[in-house]
Structure 1
Amino acid sequence: MAPFSRRIELGTLFDDAAERGAATTVHLGRPLDIAPELGTALDVPAAARLVSDAAGWFAAAGAGPGDRVAIVKRNHFDLVLLCCAAARIGAVPVPLSAHLDPDVLEILLKRLDPALLVLGFAPAGPGGALTSLASRTLLLDGGAGAAGPVLSLDDVRGHAAPAPRRPPVDDPLVIVHTSGTTGAPKLVVHSTRTLLRRLAGFEAHRWPVLAARRSDVVAGAFSFAHGRALAWTASVLALGPEKLLVVTGSGWDEARPLLERHRPTTVEAQPSTFVRWRPHVRAQDGPAPSRAFGRVRLYISTFDAVHPPTVRTFLNATAHPRPIWLQGWGQSETGPLTFRFLTRRALRAERERHPTTRDLGRPVPGRSRLRVVDRETLRPVPRGTAGLLVCGTKALCLGYVGEERRFRRKLAGEWFVTGDIGVLTRGGRLLLLDREADVLPEGSCVELEDVLEDRLPGVAECVVLGVPGGRCVPVLITEDGGPPPITSPALWREATADLPELADPVVMAWDRIPRTGTGKVRRAALRERLGVTSETYGRGRWT
Structure 2
Amino acid sequence: MERELMAFFNRPIDLGTLFDDLAERDRSTGVHMSRPLDIAPHLGTDLEISDLADLVGEAAGWLAAAGVRRGDRVAIVKRNHWDYVLLSCAAARIGAVPASLSAHLAPDVLEILLKRLEPALLVTDKALAAVADLAWQAPRTLVIDGTADGLLSLDDVRGWAAPPVHRPAPDDPLAVVHTSGTTGVPKLVVHSTRTLLRRLAGFEAHRWPLLGSRPDDVVGSAISFAHGRALAWTASVLWLGPAKLLAVSAPGWDEAGPFLARHRPTTLEALPATYVRWQRRALGEGNPFERVRLFISTFDAMHPPTVRTFLGATRHRRPVWMQGWGQSETGPLTFRLLTRKAMADGDERHPTTRDLGRPVPTRTRLRVVDRETLRPVRRGASGLVVCRTKALCLGYVGEQERWLGKRLGQWWHTGDVGALSRTGRVRFVDRETDTIPGASCVELEDVIDDRLPGVLECVILGVPGRPSVPVVVTEDGGLDQDAWRRAVADLPELADPVVLTWEQVPRTGTGKVRRTALRELLGEVPDTYGTGRWT
Identify which range, 103-112 or 156-165, moves more after superposition.
156-165
Task: Give distance in 2, aligned partners of 1:540 and 1:125.
Answer: 35
- Given that 2:351 and 2:447 are in contact with CA atoms closer than 8 Å, whether structure 1 keeps it comes out as no
* Aligned equivalent of 2:109: 104
- Deviation string 1:305-327 (CA, Å, 9 cap, x unpaired) is 11101100000000001100000
Task: Give distance in 1, aligned partners of 2:49 and 2:287.
Answer: 27
Deviation at 1:72, TM superposition (A): 0.7
Relative to the length of structure 2, the TM-score reads 0.97
Q: Choose from 507, 515, 536 the match for 2:528.
A: 536
Which amino acid in 2 is paired with 1:138? L
* Aligned equivalent of 1:325: 321
Describe the shift of the 1:124–1:185 C-alpha distance in structure 2 as closer, same or farther (beyond 3 A). Answer: closer
* Aligned equivalent of 1:373: 369
Task: Give distance in 2, aligned partners of 1:123 and 1:180.
Answer: 20
Describe the shift of the 1:351–1:224 C-alpha distance in structure 2 as closer, same or farther (beyond 3 A). Answer: farther
User: What is the DSSP-based 3-state SS (H/G/I as helix, E as strand, rest coil) of the residue aligned with 1:345?
Assistant: helix
- Deviation string 1:31-65 (CA, Å, 9 cap, x unpaired) is 11111111110111111111111000000111011
- Given that 1:71 and 1:94 are in contact with CA atoms closer than 8 Å, whether structure 2 keeps it comes out as yes
Describe the shift of the 1:339–1:160 C-alpha distance in structure 2 as closer, same or farther (beyond 3 A). Answer: same
Deviation at 1:130, TM superposition (A): 1.3
Task: Give distance in 1, aligned partners of 2:492 and 2:412.
Answer: 33
* Aligned equivalent of 1:435: 431
Alignment of 1:342 with 2:338, yes or no, is yes
Task: Give distance in 1, aligned partners of 2:213 and 2:80.
Answer: 24
Deviation at 1:99, TM superposition (A): 0.7
User: What is the DSSP-based 3-state SS (H/G/I as helix, E as strand, rest coil) of the residue aligned with 2:353?
Assistant: helix
Task: Give distance in 2, aligned partners of 1:504 and 1:327.
Answer: 32
After superposition, residues 155-304 of structure 1 pair within 5 angstroms as 155-282=156-283, 288-304=284-300
Deviation at 1:488, TM superposition (A): 2.8
Alignment of 1:60 with 2:56, yes or no, is no
Task: Give distance in 1, aligned partners of 2:465 and 2:340.
Answer: 40
Alignment of 1:91 with 2:102, yes or no, is no
Deviation at 1:141, TM superposition (A): 2.3
- Given that 2:12 and 2:236 are in contact with CA atoms closer than 8 Å, whether structure 1 keeps it comes out as no
Task: Give distance in 1, aligned partners of 2:286 and 2:220.
Answer: 16
Describe the shift of the 1:427–1:6 C-alpha distance in structure 2 as closer, same or farther (beyond 3 A). Answer: closer
- Given that 1:4 and 1:205 are in contact with CA atoms closer than 8 Å, whether structure 2 keeps it comes out as no
* Aligned equivalent of 2:135: 131
Alignment of 1:504 with 2:496, yes or no, is yes
Deviation at 1:535, TM superposition (A): 1.0
Task: Give distance in 1, aligned partners of 2:129 and 2:406.
Answer: 40
User: What is the DSSP-based 3-state SS (H/G/I as helix, E as strand, rest coil) of the residue aligned with 1:359?
Assistant: coil
User: What is the DSSP-based 3-state SS (H/G/I as helix, E as strand, rest coil) of the residue aligned with 2:343?
Assistant: coil
* Aligned equivalent of 2:391: 395
- Given that 1:295 and 1:319 are in contact with CA atoms closer than 8 Å, whether structure 2 keeps it comes out as yes
- Given that 2:335 and 2:358 are in contact with CA atoms closer than 8 Å, whether structure 1 keeps it comes out as yes
Q: Choose from 514, 519, 534 the match for 1:527.
A: 519
Describe the shift of the 1:5–1:509 C-alpha distance in structure 2 as closer, same or farther (beyond 3 A). Answer: same
Deviation at 1:4, TM superposition (A): 6.5
- Deviation string 1:212-242 (CA, Å, 9 cap, x unpaired) is 0000000000000000000000000100000
Deviation at 1:186, TM superposition (A): 0.2
User: What is the DSSP-based 3-state SS (H/G/I as helix, E as strand, rest coil) of the residue aligned with 1:300?
Assistant: strand
User: What is the DSSP-based 3-state SS (H/G/I as helix, E as strand, rest coil) of the residue aligned with 2:367?
Assistant: strand
Task: Give distance in 2, aligned partners of 1:376 and 1:121.
Answer: 49
Runs of 4+ in structure 1 deviating by more than 4 angstroms, as ranges, are none
After superposition, residues 382-461 of structure 1 pair within 5 angstroms as 382-461=378-457
Gaps of 5+ in 2: 1-6
User: What is the DSSP-based 3-state SS (H/G/I as helix, E as strand, rest coil) of the residue aligned with 2:47?
Assistant: strand
- Given that 2:125 and 2:146 are in contact with CA atoms closer than 8 Å, whether structure 1 keeps it comes out as no
Alignment of 1:152 with 2:144, yes or no, is no
Describe the shift of the 1:254–1:460 C-alpha distance in structure 2 as closer, same or farther (beyond 3 A). Answer: same
Task: Give distance in 1, aligned partners of 2:50 and 2:233.
Answer: 19
User: What is the DSSP-based 3-state SS (H/G/I as helix, E as strand, rest coil) of the residue aligned with 1:45?
Assistant: helix
Deviation at 1:8, TM superposition (A): 2.1
- Given that 2:217 and 2:244 are in contact with CA atoms closer than 8 Å, whether structure 1 keeps it comes out as yes
Task: Give distance in 2, aligned partners of 1:252 and 1:442.
Answer: 40
Which amino acid in 2 is paired with 1:414? Q
- Given that 1:122 and 1:143 are in contact with CA atoms closer than 8 Å, whether structure 2 keeps it comes out as no
Gaps of 5+ in 1: 283-287
Aligned length: 529
* Aligned equivalent of 1:73: 78
